[in-house]
Amino acid sequence: MNKIELFVQHRPKNTMKNYTAFLNQYFRVVDADVKTYFDNGREYKQDIEKYWYSQLERPPLTRNARISCVKTFLEENNVEFEHSFWRRLKRRGKGSRAMTIDKKPTNEQLKKILLHGTVHDKAMFLIACSSGMRIAEILELKECDIDMKSNPVMVRVRGETTKNGNPRITFISNEAKDCLEEWMKERENYIDVAIRKTGNLCKKDRKDGTIFPHGYNVAWMRWKSLITKSGFTERDPTTNRYLYHIHVLRKFFESKMAVAGVPKDVYEDMAGHEGYLSGSYRRIDERELIDAYKKGVKSLLVFETSPDLTEVNEQLQNKEIQISNMQQEIHNLRNQIGGLRNLDEETSRKLFETLLAEAIRSGKVVLKK
């Protein structure tokens, strides 16, 4: 086992894959062999700078993730540099945020996208947008990880499948549960078809324990097909990446829970954002997570959405304001007439009608049918 294999072992599968790719690229750029790299007294700083400059055209988050991987790898092999060296290095690259300005879909937009999908697609992507889980985590789920009898349906995300290595609890909506149950009826047939189509190239069989027996690339291609069919193919002019990419499902979850009034530390705990939580972070108990999810789950629904009454409520509010204003004006008119005590009843009535007509003409009073 070489040093790269030792470095990536025991990490989540997707992290292992990415770190291996980053480090292999590093050794290609610096033209070195990993087997002898730490034996020849190389100028490591020069190698790191050379690799950094080769990454300058990459998006900032991609670039920083790769250099962070190399930094950790070197440190685990006893090659360490002062903090100021890494700080100066990162200053030479522009930006620190994602270059693509993505778009979080609305519930109605998600509905339009998923209407083009199979039950397979609906199950996978409804789990994503109603749980906050990463796609890579969803692809590692097994039936034993999901408690279909709990309310709401509970998902126990195993530590070996998460980005930070910590297990956690999250939940899925009832509409996601319904689609998942239907998908499980088709799952074995899906595997059989995949085996027939690919022959010996297919590594899956009926003993595969994952709920969705395929890799990330298949999930991405299925999502791409959905946004293409539904017309949500807008791209970022700088990076040419889709604005409605597959990761917006996770952002959809976070934004909807925030709007529903769920505390940030609670929904970030469900989404596995422990590394970004404030210093007041605490381990949230299961009961509190359940109560919070029940509070926010209605905002996550895609197919079972309630009608949007925002415009109707605004119209009713405007009506109430108009009625209140009209009542105040009529009250003022009556007070004016009441002050003319010497006028007879008929004269008072005519004067009131005249003043009311003038108020209507000037817009102070608006009569609505």
* Mean pLDDT value of segment 94-108: 69
Listed range (35-49, 105-119, 188-202, 237-251) with the worst mean pLDDT: 188-202
pLDDT digit string, tens, across residues 39-71: 877 889 989 988 888 887 777 778 888 889 999
Instruction: Provide the 10 A C-beta neighbour count for residue 71.
Output: 17
* Mean pLDDT value of segment 231-243: 84
Q: How far is CA 213 from CA 19, 145, 207, in A?
A: 23, 15, 10
Contact at 8 Å (CB) between 55 and 90? Answer: no
- Does the pTM exceed 0.85? no
What's the token pair of residue 287?
A: 């009961």
Burial of 162 (0-12, 13-18, 19+ CB in 10 A): buried
- Three-state SS annotation for 289-348: HHHHHHHHHHHHCCCCCCCCCHHHHHHHHHHHHHHHHHHHHHHHHHHHHHCCCCCCHHHH
With bands split at pLDDT 50, 70 and 90, how would you rate the model's confidence at 227? very high
